[in-house]
Amino acid sequence: MSRVDNFDALVERLCLRGSLVTRTGLRVGSGGSGESDAVDLPVLRDAQRYPMIPGSSIKGVLRSTVESLLRGANRDRATHVWACDPLLERTDRERACGYHKSGEKPSADTSGYCAACRLFGSRRVASHVRFTDALIPKENRSGRIPVETRDGVAIDRDLRVAYGVAKYDFEVVSPGTQFDLAVFIENPEEWLMGLLIVGFEQIAEGFSALGGFTSRGLGRVEIAWSEMGRVNATDLLAGKPMETVRGDALQAEFDKWRKQLAVQAGYVGGA
């Protein structure tokens, strides 16, 4: 098992590139009113007024999805295939990775960190995965901006009817809108890459949704990976270009990562 805090030496860097396409409306709110107060709840947009999905939103949904899977598997901590609970201030496996009480000296030992913190980082160790904001491709930035306005109304949950005159409108990204998706990984472990891929597959299959208003049917997306770039320190210093993996070779990498995850969790034997 490699160290969690292994950023002092570059072993390998990966970049997964693909597309994210909305199957239903998608709402990532901007937290403010629309232009000239035309819309009560606008979506987040970039400088050119096209909708965008922050990398933090993608990472948050992916991490919560992975943590739920890990806790449901209920594996022994010795395999590292488990997830801590940062909201519990308890000892042993229920303690949040990197947690220490006030007045205590933080421990430098990160060997017992859970799989989620090993991959996405904790309060003491940086994330091995970096998510960029998902933007609409340049070639699709012409014509109508793919944003719709929908009506909403507050519901009295006791009477199950509209609550007074509490009507509002909100924006969503139109179904069928494509975004560029890029994920960068530093010093990856194969079994953790398997966990990353499984998490993305859960989102693509609709078991996790992006953005807000997901209980109303929003946030369903499709994810398709087109290529993976791979490079190490030796190649960088030698001036070699990044290796690009596509098609069947990329799927073979995904299958290898999934197998390593199963081996690490103790479900199958190693080769």
Instruction: Decide if pLDDT at 92 tops 70.
Output: no
Is residue 229 classed exposed, middle or buried when 0-12, 13-18 and 19+ CB atoms within 10 A define those classes? middle
Contact between 194 and 261 (Cβ < 8 Å): yes
Measured between alpha carbons, how far is 62 from 46 in angstroms, rounded to an integer?
A: 22
What are 27-82's pLDDT values in tens digits?
999 876 555 457 888 999 999 999 999 999 999 999 999 999 999 887 666 677 89
Tokens (6 digits) for 254: 């995904």
Name the phi and psi angles at 35, rounded to 5: -60, 125
Strand ranges, E, within 87-233: 129-131, 134-135, 147-156, 161-173, 178-186, 221-231
What are 214-225's pLDDT values in tens digits?
998 999 999 999
Intra-chain end-to-end CA distance of the chain, in Å: 17
Instruction: Decide if pLDDT at 1 tops 50.
Output: yes
The pLDDT value given to residue 36: 43
What are 155-208's pLDDT values in tens digits?
666 656 566 657 788 999 999 999 999 999 999 999 999 999 999 999 999 999
What are 155-167's pLDDT values in tens digits?
666 656 566 657 7
For the chain, what's the residue count? 271
